[in-house]
Structure 1
Amino acid sequence: MNWKLTSEKHLVQTYSTHINPFWKQAVSTGEFTGKHDVNVHYAWCQPENAHTHVVISSGRIESLLKYKELMYDFFTNGFAVYILDHRGQGLSGRMTSDPQHGYVEDFEDYVDDLLFFCDAIVSAKTAAPLHLLCHSMGGAIGTLALLKAPQRFASAVLCSPMFGIRPALPGWLAKSLIYFSLKLQELSKRKSGYFFGQTAYLAYPYAINTLTHSESRYRLFRDLYDDFSEIQLGGVTTHWLRAAIEAMDKIEEHAGNIETPLLLFSASGDRIIDNRRQLSVAHQFKNAEIRKVPGAYHELFAESDEYRVPVLQQIMSFLHENRSSRS
């Protein structure tokens, strides 16, 4: 099928005339209390006679507000969309005294939030099969969810999934640095702190960004975070990094147990993800299509049209084709 998608060329105008009105008129929001009493913010939209129901697991530092264009594209093509802000970021609750800390104690907390969202919130809005759409860190969370609840999703799409991160340090070195960082925090009597080299939120200029080739989408992203300072997030904490390494090791160890139909996109120009490890893990999945996107940067949902349009066309077709099945 040929799905109708927004154009980068007229995106600022499209936001004004279509996307922002869509958000006010068609998108609903809410909150639930996740593990350890952390508030989790979510949003959803359902077009009339939706043919496919998609749950989005977003990347690190992201908020559902950043997904307006993507949700608009899906909605206008007949997809219902459900998305949550992962704990510790976006509009969801924080767990340390510094709201810009990229913090989580264990990735299972993310996973439990996602599954509760599906079982308690989304299931009240539809009985149709659910499909999972993931980006980056959200891909790690989504993959862990497939391991924990293999019947929950009929299919899944993983874009630039975080199965390894750059720089890809030797395991002994990463663990040593984490150990020393945690010891320093313990001596200073802090619950959490940034890992070595990590800082509070920084808005890098487009010219040196490594996320997207689309200047218009990048500027809209930065403008959004300027306008809503509460969703700004800094670098990773040592606790987050330790939890991420444990999560990625678990995924690598158990990837062969996942039988859910998968479509995985690997951005060849990605400077965030360790693609070598990513693809090694991906080849262990029992029922996965792996597609490389030559030249693309990390954020395929916010890339320039030459990358974004064909990727979204393939994603929508894959989800539509699997819409009536359950894994």
Structure 2
Amino acid sequence: MEIAMLDETNFAAAIDGTVLPALESCRTDGYMEPAHEIYSGHPLPALRHPNGTSALGKLHYVTYDVAEFQKLGVPGASRQFHGAVVLSHGFSEFADKYRELAWYFLLAGFSVCILEHRGHGYSPRDVDDKDIVYIDDWHRYVADFAKFAAQVGRPAAKGCRLALFAHSMGGGIATALLERYPKLIDRAVLSSPMIAPDTHIPNWLAAGTTGFLSDLGLAKAKAPGMHNFEPEVNWKDNPGASVARVQWFHDLRMNDSHYQTTAAANMWVKQAVRLSHAILQDKMVRRIQTPILMFQAGNDLWVLNVAENEFKEKLDRAGGRIEMDRIPKSAHEIFSMPNAVYAPYLKRILRYLQSSEKVTVLA
């Protein structure tokens, strides 16, 4: 197969004129009942809406069927079926942000399944403020995503490989999944995973402060330093990124209030740090059976490189199978970088997830 990267100089037109019509031809939107128990069988705590009523709701997801996509006969696309990819997105993200990456996976012969994590996109929220991301317990993210992988991703793989792509917060969720459901995923790619968040202060202090505020009844309030959605792109958060891609991501957020989550709640910060501690437990790292390819962004402002290094060292010592590619000049979202960075990153991912067909990526 020979995959051509989208032209950055005419990016929006390429997305609108080529990618979106193709994706619509093979897209399905679905809703899933959330999980009710964690991997050990213990029940998750009950959730309450701010008005006091029960608040679970159904989680939104999007799937793209490669069999339908292949009927389009896109030049350069694989004619083989390589299985399915379940995608775990990052903090304040949503399924439609990954349409370009879904396009490339489809070209490579994979169906794509994207869950919108609780508190994101069109999935249920447990806080009234549209800007705030809240979670009561990090186990809920993991249990929901495991259920999604088993009930949506595995059938989509049709007996072939079930692969995983996970970014940032989604990478932290996915890593905890690999530890707690070690036979669920066949091969995994972790891109700038949140093994530990970068809270810009010591994480023990961030967890202590937000935990204290949560105990005072402010669990769903914005954590210190957080802000509401802003109509202008903050380019300082995207060093070296593709202007066209970042602007396209931001335009999606501008055009749909469901995509304007921005601020972490106090409880989200506390749970993010707890998730980090849980991931890095030696006894949990030893449970991982899935081969992992991990990417590290050298200019990462949102997760700690040192924690990614620690995780790899622990998994190496445990005899796990992990490879790490460091991209020194990349921002946190490697898939937001210019084609010169994105193309080799994409080629590495596709060659890692399937080895039966030669992959060429043209920048």
Fold conserved between structures, TM > 0.5? yes
Q: CA deviation at 1:207?
A: 3.5
Give the alignment partner of residue 271 of structure 2, picking from 220, 224, 243.
243
Mapping of residues 169-318 of structure 1, within 5 Å: 169-184=201-216, 186=217, 192-205=220-233, 207-210=235-238, 213-253=241-281, 254-285=284-315, 286-318=320-352
Give the alignment partner of residue 71 of structure 1, picking from 87, 94, 102.
102
Q: In the aligned structure 2, how far is the partner of 1:313 from the partner of 1:276?
A: 26
Flag as ranges the 4+ runs of structure 1 deviating above 4 A: none
Q: Does structure 2 retain, via aligned residues, the 8 Å contact 1:212–1:299?
A: no
Question: TM-score if structure 1 supplies the norm length?
Answer: 0.91
* 1:160-181 Cα shifts (integer Å, max 9, x gaps): 0001222453354223312332
Give the 3-state SS of the residue equivalent to 1:257 in structure 2: coil
Q: In the aligned structure 1, how far is the partner of 2:152 from the partner of 2:192?
A: 27
Structure 2 unpaired stretches of 5+:
36-46, 48-55, 68-79, 358-363
Q: In the aligned structure 1, how far is the partner of 2:97 from the partner of 2:132?
A: 19
CA distance 1:233–1:270, change in 2 (3 Å):
same
Q: In the aligned structure 1, how far is the partner of 2:27 from the partner of 2:293?
A: 27
Give the 3-state SS of the residue equivalent to 2:300 in structure 1: coil
Q: Does structure 2 retain, via aligned residues, the 8 Å contact 1:155–1:322?
A: no
Q: In the aligned structure 2, how far is the partner of 1:176 from the partner of 1:34?
A: 29
The code of the aligned residue for 2:212 comes to: F
Match of 2:171 in 1: 139
Q: CA deviation at 1:278?
A: 1.7
Match of 2:28 in 1: 28
CA distance 1:212–1:43, change in 2 (3 Å):
farther
CA distance 1:200–1:65, change in 2 (3 Å):
same
* Mean Cα deviation higher: 18-27 or 173-182: 173-182
Aligned residues: 319
The code of the aligned residue for 2:150 comes to: D
* 1:117-146 Cα shifts (integer Å, max 9, x gaps): 122223343232311110000100101111
Match of 1:46 in 2: 65
Q: In the aligned structure 2, how far is the partner of 1:168 from the partner of 1:206?
A: 17
Q: In the aligned structure 2, how far is the partner of 1:204 from the partner of 1:273?
A: 23
CA distance 1:233–1:211, change in 2 (3 Å):
farther
The code of the aligned residue for 1:8 comes to: E
Q: CA deviation at 1:192?
A: 1.5
Give the 3-state SS of the residue equivalent to 2:113 in structure 1: strand
Q: Does structure 1 retain, via aligned residues, the 8 Å contact 2:121–2:258?
A: yes
CA distance 1:196–1:203, change in 2 (3 Å):
same
Match of 2:129 in 1: 98
The code of the aligned residue for 1:264 comes to: M
Q: In the aligned structure 2, how far is the partner of 1:206 from the partner of 1:177?
A: 26
* Mean Cα deviation higher: 211-220 or 152-161: 211-220
* Mean Cα deviation higher: 125-134 or 242-251: 125-134
Q: In the aligned structure 1, how far is the partner of 2:159 from the partner of 2:289?
A: 22
CA distance 1:167–1:139, change in 2 (3 Å):
same
* Mean Cα deviation higher: 104-113 or 47-56: 47-56
Q: CA deviation at 1:322?
A: 8.5
Q: Does structure 2 retain, via aligned residues, the 8 Å contact 1:3–1:316?
A: no
Matched, 1:111 2:138: no
Structure 1 unpaired stretches of 5+:
none
The code of the aligned residue for 1:135 comes to: H
Q: In the aligned structure 2, how far is the partner of 1:2 from the partner of 1:20?
A: 20
Q: In the aligned structure 1, how far is the partner of 2:235 from the partner of 2:202?
A: 31
